[in-house]
Structure 1
Amino acid sequence: MPKIVDHDQRRREIVEVAKRLILRGGFEAATMRSISAEAGFANGALKHYFPGKDSIVAATFESVLVQISEHLDASGAETPSAEGELRAFLFSTMPRDREQIAAGRVLLALWKYALVHPALADLYRGHLDGWRDALVTRMEAARDEGAIRDQDFAPLADEYISTAIGGTIVHLMHPGGERIAEYDAYIERFLARLR
């Protein structure tokens, strides 16, 4: 009886291989040949799952954005207050563990690629818009709870996201966590301004 292959699982495995290669050697390291070799496929076998490198890169980019979004969505879920959920959300936007740092490194390697591929740029813009909406929603809930004052939350969300993106890059350059305390202090100052 022929072996049944789960094609979706194989695609996920190929994406994970692409992430590992990008982490080790940057975007250029993830060639079709290196992905095939690392995944244990014969040359050309990847074409059964992805038509070319562009489609693997797109799937990898999307996978990282989903991973980051799921992490953000889960932050503060156990917190009993809207202010606590806002705090947890803000702290979850900075990479603090090996998995988050790895996701950030892959995303950083793919940003340049996304700039010249409109579909990937749209995907990333959607991610940023979702992040902004989630942050504004959490600020509004904290305001409704009386924990922070009423104000125009959209520009504050934009400011925070810009700082968090910069902080992510700083953390990627200091993977030992040397700068986490500085950004933790920034988050506390940001929360104090909201109050």
Structure 2
Amino acid sequence: MPRLVDHQERRRSIIESTWRLIAEQGIENASMRDIARECGYAAPGVLAHYFPNKDALLLASYDLICERTNERIAEHTAGRRGISALRSMCLEIIPADPLTVVEARVAISFWQRAQTEDALRAVGRETMLHWRELMLGFLSQAEHDGECAPLPDPDAVTDELLSIMMGLHVTSMLDPDAITWSRQRHLVERALARLT
């Protein structure tokens, strides 16, 4: 009897292998042949059953990073509101453990390509819009609950927090010894303290 293949699981496994290669070699140096080898396949033709070309694979990889980050945010903000929810959200976005460090390395590679590729930019933009909406909601709760004074420009606060987190992706990759997890958390806490 032939073995049943979980195509969704295999697709995800290919994407995760792609992440590892991009994190190690960079996005331009990760060929379909390299990715197939990393997945344990002799030739890249097997990948075509799941992704018609490298661009489709890269788009799916970036999309999964955003999806996983959003799942972690939803999990860690459930039952929280205001500043507490905002803190939990920020701490899920910054690269803090081996998995999120790999995700950050891969995301940075995608950001470079997103400058010229509309599909990648659309995924990133959609994720950022989702995060802005969540943050604005948490800030509104914080104002309502008296955790912070009324904010004259909540959009500016949101943009500042997003810029800090995206900046931490870059600086923690450039100087991981200085921009450690504890340092990143400290910087997030400083930004949130200014609100209260």
Q: TM-score, normalised by structure 1?
A: 0.89
1:104 aligns with 2:104: yes
String of CA shifts for 1:121-169, please: whole Å, max 9, x gaps. 1111001111111111111111111111111211110111112111221
Offset of residue 103 of structure 1 = 0.7
Tell me how far apart the structure 2 counterparts of residues 40 and 185 of structure 1 sit (CA, whole Å): 41
Tell me how far apart the structure 2 counterparts of residues 50 and 94 of structure 1 sit (CA, whole Å): 29
Offset of residue 181 of structure 1 = 4.8
Cross-structure match for 2:70: 69
What pairs up with 1:10-21 in 2 under 5 angstroms? 10-21=10-21
What amino acid is aligned across from residue 26 of structure 2 in structure 1? G
What amino acid is aligned across from residue 57 of structure 1 in structure 2? L
Cα separation, partners in 2 of 1:14 and 1:150, compared to 1, 3 Å: same
Instruction: Determine if contact 1:86/1:142 at 8 Å carries over to the other structure.
Output: no
Tell me how far apart the structure 1 counterparts of residues 90 and 189 of structure 2 sit (CA, whole Å): 10
Tell me how far apart the structure 2 counterparts of residues 149 and 36 of structure 1 sit (CA, whole Å): 54
Cross-structure match for 1:129: 129
Cross-structure match for 2:174: 173
Tell me how far apart the structure 2 counterparts of residues 118 and 41 of structure 1 sit (CA, whole Å): 30
Instruction: Determine if contact 1:148/1:194 at 8 Å carries over to the other structure.
Output: yes
Aligned pair count?
Answer: 194
Cα separation, partners in 2 of 1:75 and 1:172, compared to 1, 3 Å: farther
What pairs up with 1:35-184 in 2 under 5 angstroms? 35-43=35-43, 44-77=45-78, 79=80, 82-151=82-151, 152-176=153-177, 178-184=179-185
Structure 2 stretches lacking a partner, 5+ long: none
Tell me how far apart the structure 2 counterparts of residues 114 and 60 of structure 1 sit (CA, whole Å): 13
Tell me how far apart the structure 1 counterparts of residues 67 and 158 of structure 2 sit (CA, whole Å): 20
Cα separation, partners in 2 of 1:49 and 1:192, compared to 1, 3 Å: closer
Offset of residue 87 of structure 1 = 2.4
Offset of residue 192 of structure 1 = 3.1
Instruction: Determine if contact 2:69/2:92 at 8 Å carries over to the other structure.
Output: no
What amino acid is aligned across from residue 72 of structure 1 in structure 2? I
Instruction: Determine if contact 2:148/2:195 at 8 Å carries over to the other structure.
Output: yes
What amino acid is aligned across from residue 148 of structure 2 in structure 1? I
